[in-house]
Structure formats: C-alpha cells, structure tokens
Amino acid sequence: MLYKRTLPEIDNQQLQQHRYDYVIVGAGSAGSVIANRLSEDPNTRVCLIEAGAADNSPRIQIPAGTITLYKSKKYSWNFFSTPQKRLNNRQIHAPRGKMVGGSSSMNSMIYIRGNASDYDNWEAKGCAGWGWKEVLPFFKRSEKNVIQQDLAFHGVEGELFVDHPKDPNPLSKLFIQAAALLNLKENQDFNAASSEGVGIYDVTQRDGQRLSSFKAFVQPILTRSNLTVVTECEVERIHHSEGQVHSIHVQRQGQNFDIRINKELILSAGAFVSPLLLMKSGIGPKSELEQAGIECKVDLPGVGKNLQEHIDGLVTVRTNSSKTLGFSVGALASILPAPFQYALKRKGWLTTNYVEAGGFAKTPLATDLPDVQFHFVPGYRSHRGRLFEWGHGYAIHTCVLRPKSIGEIRVNAQKQIEIDYNFLEKEHDMHVLIEGIKLAQRILKQDVFKAFNGQEILPGPDVKTDADYQAYVREYAATVFHPVGTCKMGIDAMSVVDPKLKVVGFNNLRIADASIMPDLVSGNTNAPCIMIGERAADFILQQQ
C-alpha cells in the first residue's frame, strides 16, 4: 500500500499564540532527526517549519518518480547558479527539495557516508569531536540496516531503513562485471572499512518505497502533542539582539507574522537557504550586506563562503536494446505492466532510482584514496539535458570527490540568492574529471557491453585530445547536487559555527545541515546530513 498521510492542520493564529522551546527551520535530512530527538521529552515544545508542501505524492514515494521532481515547480526550489565563466558561462541547475523531507524526498536514495578520513580531516581542522570514531556511533544510531552488513559499521535499531534495491536492471550488474575487467573489484558495502570498488548501491527505502528523513523520523511521531509541524511556511528573517534570537518572521497563507522562541532556533534549511536566512537577517560579511542594502547587525565574514560541490561529467551511450530503461515501442512490454508489478511485488521498472550501481575509483592522479565516484545509469542520459529522451541507452556519471575549487553564495539587492560555484578555478579539478571520464569510457567499452552494440554520444568519437576533453567538460559538466560548506564549522576567522554547531556570537542559534561541513565528504551527502542532525540534537540535549 502506498504511503498516504495528511499532516495535521495548523492555523496561523495558533502559531502566533504559542511560544516554542525549539524552532527548527527545514524538515529535511537533519531537521527531521532533530525534531524527533528533541520532542521525545513531552515537556519540550518543538516546532518544525517547512517552506514546501507535504510529501503524499506517488512521484515522491515511488523510486522511479525521482526523475520527475528535479524540475518540479511544486517540489523543487530550482535554483540556478550565476554564469560559470570556466563552463562557457552556463548557469548550472541546482534543484533542492521543497517539501517535507527536503532533498531526501527527491534524491536517488543512495546511502553513502563518505570516507573515514573525511571526518578525521574535519577534526584536524579544529572541529573537536567530529573525527570518524566520534561520528560513527551517530551514523549507527539512525540506521536500521536490514541486509545483515557488518555491525561494527552499521546499526539495526534506528529509524532509517537501509536496504538493497528491490529489482536492479541487469545492466547495472554488467557495469560491475565490466569494471572488474579493469581491476575495479566489487564492493558489497561502501560504508565499511573501504569505499573503493564498484557495486550496487544501498538505498534508504522501506518495502520498495522511498524513506525520506521526514518519513523515517517524523511521520511515526506525528501524534506527539508537543510537536508542531508546519508546511508551506517560508521564513523571511530572524529577529535577534545581543547574541540572542527572540523570534522568526514568516510568511504563510498570505499572512506575515512572528513565531516566538523560548530556547533555541536551529537552521536546517540547507547549504543555500541557511546562509541566505542569516544574511537577510543582517548576519554575514558586512561590506556585502551593505552593498545589498541590508543593515549588518553581526559582521560574520564566513557566511556564504566555502561553497563546495561535486563537479560531474557524463559518458552516455545509445543502443537499440529495450533491456535498458527507456521509452520505445519495444519497451512497452516492460512499461505497461510496471504499475502492477510494483504494486504487487515491488518489482519492475518503477523500482529504479536510475543510479542503481556505481562506486569509487582511483585515477592516475590519485594518491592513497579514490578520487572519483561513478553513478551508473541503465538508461539513456540525454545529451541535450532533457529529463526524458525517446529510445534507449546507458551512461556513467563521474564526479570529482575532493574538488579544490571553492565558490560562494551572496544575497543581492532584491534579497535573492546568487550561487557561484567557481567551478574549475583550480586546474586540479579539470584534470581529475578528465581522467575519470576516460576511465568511465573504458568501462563501457568492455566486451560485456558489446552485445548492446552501443554508440557513444558523449563525449563521442571526435573527443580525442586533452584539449578536446577540456572543451567537452566546459560545455557539458554539471553537478550531482551535493552543495556544502557555506556556514562552515571550525575555529578560524571564517568559521560560522563552532564545533557544537552554535553560530559564532550567538547563545541560542545553531545550524545543522550540509552548510556546516568544513570540507565536502567523498560521497553522497544525505547520510552525513542525518548524522549532523543526530549530533546537533545530542549537543542540545547535553546542555539541558
């Protein structure tokens, strides 16, 4: 049975009348965890605010629906970057989830934590208590691993189900075989001792349905009388003075009003919106705020800086084989019964998350750790950037795991966000991406794929020299939607939050989302954000 639920109705007058102990802005990966943990105490009044809508659409709950969400006017923020001067002045699409669950309600559901060294490096930069040994218990606390993976690395009593995909496409397994011919060994658990190798990705699903952070951590506790969940409520600014937050000003159902706070405000609105809210509230780099016509109340130069993202390159192949995902007359035999297969057995076309397999590899430029990640797609990835193309194919996305180029976000005079990834500012990123694309091409040229008689469309046979590859990257590179770092944690002058996630200079303002990462993790970012939510809740509860 598909997940259906209507959130309790909350009227604006009720929101204005109450004072809440904790207000959490953003019902996404981290915010949903925090709402669960803090509301366990029945004497604590918690308010969880989401700018987007409820999540009771089949497009969200059925795995294959993910591809329809990225450009949705209802469920995605649909941000775009500023023109990227080293990517032929293209504006890069940056979708983020605009519904309960946030981006965990629209992502590909891949459960990856990153490398242990990522967190040890955070600790080495002054983030005490964030080394691998310290964060691993919080990963395990959230997890309900149902595939009998090593208990030294996995939890089995948490709320977040981690499972195998229900019905991977046969080509996903061919990808693993092809990579093995290049000495890229199969890895059946990317979250254990080593991430290196290729395999079928584990996913955050329960009974073949998406399990977003909201669905895992908040939906089961909606009966708690001390928890208020508010949707379609957009925060405009934070009211604060002398290091103390008093309330937030919101817009909802055509009305503007304040929501008052007794104890703490926690921003979990993501790497774009959390720093934007700070800047709109007069917290950020003084000169930039004044240029945007905003009075600077707290000069915090690191707000919006340190933006990091996984730059991504595509290898896409055309084939006539209807064994791949795609739309054609020959594919009708698998498309037409798909709703029935999914409803009855959780099998078939609708179970796919489109990036069922992948892995981590070393290019010739790597040192001791993998420097690229693959996402294999058993369907045709459009060479024109479309969500759907008629016909069939398969593809590999390749991203640079530890990019050196650093961007920023700004607020303009219209109080709107400007996102500048500053892609390829460091030549290192270009070189690693090209080597990763070449390795992906070699995988798809192995004999196991010959039966499909595929024709490489991108980069294509005309791309031969390094200059050709550079031109290709500038014209086609994109992202895998992992923005982080814009309210970085640390102890230096550009840090926005301290290691307990409190905003510098404030007593009761915390940030808990991808924006606090001092460096981008080497993998997908949803699981790390859930861990950050666990850490934030623990810090808050420890001080009570």
Are 43 and 541 in contact by the 8 Å Cβ rule? The answer is no
Q: What type of residue sits at position 222?
A: L
pLDDT tens sequence across 256-279: 999 999 999 999 999 999 999 999
The rounded distance, in Å, linking the Cα atoms of 390 and 177 is: 27
Domain segments of the chain: what residues?
1-123+212-307+484-544, 166-200+311-400+424-476
Three-state DSSP class for residue 366 = coil
What would the mean pLDDT of 177-203 be, rounded to a whole number?
Answer: 98
Beta 244-252 vs 233-241: how paired, if at all?
antiparallel
pLDDT confidence band for 311 (50 / 70 / 90): very high
CB contact set of 303 (below 8 Å; sequence gap of 6+) = 275, 278, 279, 283, 284, 285, 486, 487, 496
pLDDT tens sequence across 398-440: 999 999 999 999 999 999 999 999 999 999 999 999 999 999 9
Helices (H), 185-315: 213-217, 270-280, 286-291
pLDDT of amino acid 333 = 87
pLDDT confidence band for 454 (50 / 70 / 90): very high
Using alpha carbons, select from 96, 48, 466 the residue that is nearest to residue 218: 48
235 annotated ligand-binding residue = yes
pLDDT of amino acid 4 = 47
Are 209 and 4 in contact by the 8 Å Cβ rule? The answer is no
The rounded distance, in Å, linking the Cα atoms of 544 and 542 is: 6
**b/e 211-229 (16+ beta carbons within 10 angstroms → b):** bbbbbbbbbeeeebebbbb
pLDDT tens sequence across 92-124: 999 999 999 999 999 999 999 999 999 999 999
The rounded distance, in Å, linking the Cα atoms of 317 and 451 is: 13
* Domain 166-200+311-400+424-476 class in CATH: alpha beta
Out of 50-64, 347-361, 373-387, least confident range = 373-387
pLDDT of amino acid 2 = 45
Give the CATH fold of the 1-123+212-307+484-544 domain: FAD/NAD(P)-binding domain (3.50.50)
Helices (H), 382-426: none
**Sign of torsion, CA 10 14 18 24?**
positive
- Whether a cis peptide bond, with omega within 30° of 0, leads into 8 is no
Radius of gyration of the chain (CA): 23
pLDDT of amino acid 461 = 95
What would the mean pLDDT of 204-232 be, rounded to a whole number?
Answer: 97
Residue-by-residue DSSP string for 248-267: EEEEETTEEEEEEEEEEEEE
Kindly report the average pLDDT of the chain as a whole number. 96
**b/e 39-56 (16+ beta carbons within 10 angstroms → b):** beeeebbbbbbbbbbbbe
What would the mean pLDDT of 205-210 be, rounded to a whole number?
Answer: 97
Q: What type of residue sits at position 453?
A: N
482 is an active site residue: yes
CB contact set of 34 (below 8 Å; sequence gap of 6+) = 22, 24, 266, 268, 512, 533, 536, 537, 540
Percent of the chain with pLDDT over 70: 98
Cβ-in-10-Å burial (0-12, 13-18, 19+) of 14 comes to exposed
Q: Which own/partner pairs from 253-258 qualify as long-range (CB within 8 Å, at least 24 positions apart)?
A: 253/12, 255/12, 257/12, 257/15, 257/16, 258/16
Are 113 and 149 in contact by the 8 Å Cβ rule? The answer is no
The rounded distance, in Å, linking the Cα atoms of 280 and 413 is: 10
First-to-final CA distance of the chain: 41
pLDDT of amino acid 6 = 60
The rounded distance, in Å, linking the Cα atoms of 271 and 310 is: 14
Distances (CA, A) of 10 to 5, 250, 541: 15, 14, 27
pTM of the model: 0.97
CB contact set of 14 (below 8 Å; sequence gap of 6+) = none
The rounded distance, in Å, linking the Cα atoms of 212 and 70 is: 16
Using alpha carbons, select from 431, 536, 512 the residue that is nearest to residue 473: 431
The rounded distance, in Å, linking the Cα atoms of 432 and 400 is: 7
Which of these is catalytic: 154, 240, 392, 482? Answer: 482
Q: pLDDT higher for 383 or 272? A: 272
> Encoding tokens for residue 78?
């649909």
Distances (CA, A) of 542 to 78, 241, 539: 37, 25, 5
> Encoding tokens for residue 337?
């019964």
What's the DSSP call for residue 9?
A: P
